[in-house]
């Protein structure tokens, strides 16, 4: 019976010994490629949708805060001192 190998060792074999594929700067690129290659995966679609919604909400909050800040500033300028 062959000795048990770790997930990392099996991954290296499947990647042709590409250790950098697991660690380092290539990690993000590989993730993007795997997402791009399986756009119909329901989990990928759900997560993408959630992240998009989250960032849209954050942007709206920032815009609202900017508007509120501008209103406060306008009130301050028109207020009699």
Model pTM greater than 0.75? no
Sign of CA dihedral 10, 13, 18, 21: negative
Can you list the alpha helix ranges (DSSP code H) found in the chain?
A: 7-14, 26-37, 42-78
pLDDT tens profile 37-53: 556 788 888 999 999 99
pLDDT at 62 over 70: yes
């Amino acid at each position: 019976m062959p000795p048990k190998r770790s997930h990392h060792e099996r991954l290296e074999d499947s990647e042709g010994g590409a250790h950098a594929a697991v660690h380092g700067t290539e990690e993000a690129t590989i993730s993007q490629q795997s997402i791009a290659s399986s756009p119909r995966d329901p989990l990928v679609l759900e997560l993408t949708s959630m992240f998009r919604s989250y960032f849209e909400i954050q942007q709206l909050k920032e815009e609202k805060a900017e508007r509120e800040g501008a209103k406060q500033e306008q009130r301050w300028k028109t207020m009699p001192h």
